Amino acid sequence: MKIKEIIVVEGKDDTVAIKRAIDADTIETNGSAINEETLKKIELAAQTRGVIVFTDPDFPGEKIRKTIVARVPNCKHAFIPKKEAIGKLGRGVGVEHATPDAIRLALKEAHVMETEPKEEITKEDLIYYRLIGDPSAKMRRERLGEILKIGYTNGKQLYKRLLMFQIPRDLFIEAVHTIFQEEQIHE
C-alpha cells in the first residue's frame, strides 16, 4: 500500500513503524517543540502532495497537532486508539507501538478538519448522552473517539473535535447508542 500524502510523525521510531505498515514518506517533528524549518516543510508538503498528521494519542501529540493546524489547516488527521498504541509491559504510548494493521486502518480513515464547521451536535447533546459531567464520561469519550475515528478527547475538546470533523448527527447518535449497548452487556 502506497500513500501519496506525506505523513507527519513525532520521531524516528514512528517513521520505522509507518514504513513497516505501508510505503510512505514522513516528516518528523522531533517532539512537541516544532521548529520553523519543520513547519515550512509541512506547508510545502501540504501544497505539493498533501499531509496526514499522525501523532501519538497523548498530550504532546495533541499539542503538535494543534501547532500544525494553526499553520496548515488543510491537513488530514489520522488517529490511533490509545489502547492500540501502548508499548510492551504497558510502558509508553505512541504510534511506534502500534501494529501495522492498526496503522493502516488509522491512515485509511484519516479525516480533514473543517475550518468553518456547522453545528450538528450541540453541547447539550454531550450532557444528555453523558459524555461530560458523568462519572463514566471519560470512558464513553474514549470509546466514542475509537468508533468515530477522531481520537480521545477531554470534555472541552470533544465538542470542538466533533465540529472540526463535521461528524453527522446520525453517525454520532449511532455511536452513542453502540456505547450504551456495550455498557449494558458488561453489567
Listing DSSP states for 46-91 in one string gives HHHT-EEE---SSHHHHHHHHHHHHH-TT-EE----GGGSBPGGG-
pLDDT digits (tens, 9 = 90+) for 126-139: 999 999 999 999 99
Q: How many CB atoms lie within 10 A of CB 181?
A: 9
Q: How many CB atoms lie within 10 A of CB 100?
A: 14
pLDDT digits (tens, 9 = 90+) for 136-158: 999 999 999 999 988 888 888 89
Assigned C-alpha cell, 113: 478538519
Cβ-proximal residues to 160 (8 Å cutoff; 6+ apart), any chain: 153
- CATH number for the segment(s) 1-113: 3.40.1360.10
Give me the residue spans of the domains in the chain.
1-113, 116-187
Mean confidence (pLDDT) of the chain = 89
Query: In the prediction, which pLDDT does 114 show?
Result: 62
- How sure is the predictor about 66, in pLDDT bands with cuts at 50, 70 and 90? confident
In this structure, of 46-50, 88-92, 163-167, the range with the lowest mean pLDDT score is: 88-92
Q: Which residues pair with 77 in a beta bridge?
A: 53, 111
For the chain, percent of residues with pLDDT exceeding 70 = 96
Query: In the prediction, which pLDDT does 149 show?
Result: 86
Query: In the prediction, which pLDDT does 115 show?
Result: 59
Query: In the prediction, which pLDDT does 93 show?
Result: 85
pLDDT digits (tens, 9 = 90+) for 78-95: 998 888 888 777 678 889
